[in-house]
Structure formats: C-alpha cells, structure tokens
C-alpha cells in the first residue's frame, strides 16, 4: 500500500493537465473552470503543472468536465513499488482526478 508504506506522494509529479469543458460555442470561461483543477493540484503537488483548458460541444456520458492528467514517478519510487503498490497509485490518482472533476463541475454550476 503506497500511502501506508511510504506515507505520501513523494516521487509522483504532475506533468500537465488537460481540462475539457462541455459548453456552448459562446462560452469563453474555460480557464475559470480549470482553476479548480489547478488549485487542487497545487495543494497536492505544491506547484502548477502545464495546463490546457478547451471547450467541447459534448463529452462522453453527458459529463460537464473531463480532466486528463499526465504524471510521472521517480526512478526511486518505481524501484520501491510492487505491482499492488502500482495499482494502488493508479487508483489513488484516478480518485484525485475524480475529485477535481467534481470540484470543476461544481464551479460550472455556480
């Protein structure tokens, strides 16, 4: 278990995020929607990765926001991870992105 074993996300680094916003062609505030993702990642990783915010006329399953995050892990962490840890890391990062999506969607509705 990554967090139980290592206690933190040291060695995990967000490289970039892409925020897709389900919106009409006249909507121009994509960056404002992406701000929630940025704030969340700053809180987790301590810095803001490169970010892209783009409007789309539709997203899968009627989602309001979709976020793609590219992350890397350090060689040191990679050597420490066993398969269970790697799966836990992927699940944990997916959960983090889900939380960001919910936060962004909440900002869309305000």
> Global pTM?
0.67
Q: Region 19-25: what's the mean pLDDT? A: 89
Provide the 10 A C-beta neighbour count for residue 109.
Answer: 6
Q: Are 15 and 39 in contact (CB under 8 A)?
A: no
Q: Region 57-69: what's the mean pLDDT? A: 85
> Which CATH number goes with the domain that contains 103?
3.30.1330.40
Which has more pLDDT, 5 or 63? 63
Residues 6+ apart with CB under 8 A from 12: 45, 71, 72, 73, 74, 77, 89, 93
Q: Region 55-71: what's the mean pLDDT? A: 85
Instruction: Please state, in angstroms and rounded to a whole number, the distance separating the CA atoms of residues 5 and 1.
Output: 6
Q: Region 48-74: what's the mean pLDDT? A: 84
In our burial notation (b when 16+ CB lie closer than 10 A, e otherwise), range 91-104 reads eebeebbeebbebb
Residue 84 belongs to domain spanning: 2-109
Q: How confident is the model at residue 11 (pLDDT cuts 50, 70, 90)?
A: confident
Q: Number of structural domains, the chain?
A: 1
């Amino acid at each position: 278990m990554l967090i139980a074993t290592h206690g933190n996300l040291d060695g995990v680094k967000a490289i970039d995020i892409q925020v897709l916003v389900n919106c009409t062609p006249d909507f121009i505030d994509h960056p404002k929607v992406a701000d929630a993702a940025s704030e969340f990642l700053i809180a987790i990783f301590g810095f803001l990765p490169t970010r892209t915010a783009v409007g789309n006329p539709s997203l899968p399953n009627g989602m309001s926001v979709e976020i793609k995050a590219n992350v890397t892990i350090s060689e040191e962490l990679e050597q420490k991870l066993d398969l269970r840890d790697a799966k836990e890391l992927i699940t944990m990062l997916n959960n983090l992105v889900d939380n960001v999506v919910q936060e962004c969607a909440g900002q869309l509705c305000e």
